[in-house]
Chains A and B, each alone.
Chain A
Amino acid sequence: MPPWKAALLWGLVLVAWAALPLVASRHIVDLLVFAGLYTIAGLGVAFLLGQCGIVNLAQSMFYGIGAYCVAWFCTVKGLPSVFAVTAGIALSAAIAALVGWPILRLSGYFLALATLALAIIGQVLFLEWDWLTGGTLGIGGIPRIALFGFELDSPQRFYFLVWPIAAVLLLLHHNLLHSRNGLALRSMRDAPEAAAALGVDLHRLKVQMFVLSAMLGSLAGSLFAHYVTFVSVDSFAVDRAISFLLLAVLGGVTTVWGPVLGALFITLLPQWLSRLGDVHAVVFALALIAAVILLPEGFGGAIRNRLRARAVK
Chain B
Amino acid sequence: MTRANQRAGEPLLRIAGVSHRFGGLQVLRGVSFDVPPASLTALIGPNGAGKSTLFNIVSGFLSPQQGAIRFNERDITKDSVQSRGRAGLMRTFQTPQVFRNLSVRENLMMGDYRHLASGITANMLRLRGSRVEMDRLRAKAEEACERFGLREVMDQVAGQVPAGIQRWVELARAWIGGPRLLMLDEPSSGLNTAEIAQLRAALQRLNAEGITILLVSHDMTLVDVAEQVHVLCFGSIIASGAMQQIQQDERVRQAYLGV
Contacts and interface: CB of A to CB of B under 8 A. Distances in A.
Contacts of A189: 101
A218 B14 CA distance: 50
A191 B100 contact: yes
Q: Which of A182, A190, A197, A202 neighbours the largest number of chain B CB atoms within 10 Å of its CB? A: A197
B158 to A, nearest CB: 8
B110 A198 contact: yes
Contacts of B110: 183-184, 187, 195, 198
A186 B123 contact: no
A175 interface: yes
A271 interface: no
Q: Which of B85, B116, B120, B177 neighbours the largest number of chain A CB atoms within 10 Å of its CB? A: B120
Contacts, number: 101
Contact of B102 (A176, A187, A212): A187
Interface string A164-197: 0000000011011011111110110111011111
B118 A190 contact: no
A288 B118 CA distance: 40
Contacts of A190: 98-102, 159
Interface in B120-168: 120, 122-126, 130, 133-134, 137, 159
A200 interface: yes
B256 interface: no
B97 A200 contact: no
Interface size of B as a range: 35 or more
Contacts of B119: 181
Contact of A172 (B85, B124, B133): B124
Nearest to B112: A198
9 contacts: A172-B125, A182-B123, A194-B97, A194-B98, A197-B59, A198-B111, A199-B86, A199-B177, A201-B82
Given A176-B124, A194-B93, A196-B80, 20 more contacts: A172-B124, A173-B124, A179-B118, A179-B134, A180-B134, A180-B137, A181-B123, A183-B106, A186-B101, A186-B106, A193-B61, A194-B97, A194-B98, A194-B170, A196-B81, A197-B85, A198-B90, A198-B177, A200-B113, A212-B120
Interface of B: 59, 61, 80-86, 90-91, 93, 97-102, 106, 109-111, 113-114, 116, 118-120, 122-126, 130, 133-134, 137, 159, 170, 173, 177
